[in-house]
Amino acid sequence: MAIERTLAILKPDCVRKQLIGEVTSHIQKAGFKILGMKMIRLTSETAGGFYAVHRGRPFFDELIKFMSSGACVPIALEKENAVADYRKLIGATDPKDAEDGTIRKLYADNKGENIVHGSDSVDNGKIEISYFFSERELVANNS
């Protein structure tokens, strides 16, 4: 299997609930290498740009309001088969449907406020990482 990169975001509910350490620990214990990590506050514009693919969907406005409601923590991750393995680790979008032991099942309140983001393909992983990190911020010196 190929080494891939994927983008995680610890969403504003994760930060508000003081779960940055706990959720990051799940990610690291699952074997992901952290290449870059920062705390930022998205605006409606930057959140809207990130989720442009969902523009026009009924949940879009609420999603943008939520994502810009507080600090969040984008994390660039690397691992063999990273995209699919990370999606498995976080579980289904709606925590009600997520498998036991997944991050969303453990910590999320509802489908909107669901603790974490994860890229859905290798190509989107690259695009999404570049939305938050420049190449020199991806310091792969922790192997």
For ligand CDP, the binding residues (CB under 6 A) are: 54, 59, 63, 93, 111-112, 114, 117, 120
Residue type, 68: S
How many alpha carbons fall within 13 Å on the CB side of residue 58?
0
Binder of residue 131, out of Mg ion, ligand CDP, none (CB less than 5 to 8 A by kind)? none
CB of 113 to ligand CDP, least distance (A): 7
CB of 53 to ligand CDP, least distance (A): 8
Q: Which whole-number Å values give the CA distances from 77 to 60, 65, 80, in the listed order? A: 26, 26, 10
Q: Which of 5, 26, 79, 117 is catalytic?
A: 117
CB of 78 to ligand CDP, least distance (A): 19
- Total residues interacting with Mg ion, rule: CB under 5 A: 1
Interatomic CA distance for residues 17 and 109, integer angstroms: 11
- The answer to whether 72 and 15 have CB atoms below 8 angstroms apart is yes
Letters for 79-118 (x = contact with Mg ion by CB under 5 A, - = none) are: ----------------------------------------
For ligand CDP, the closer CB: 38 or 88? 88
Q: Which whole-number Å values give the CA distances from 57 to 6, 21, 53, 105, in the listed order? A: 24, 32, 9, 24
54 classed as catalytic: no
- The answer to whether 30 and 23 have CB atoms below 8 angstroms apart is no
Give catalytic residue positions.
Answer: 117
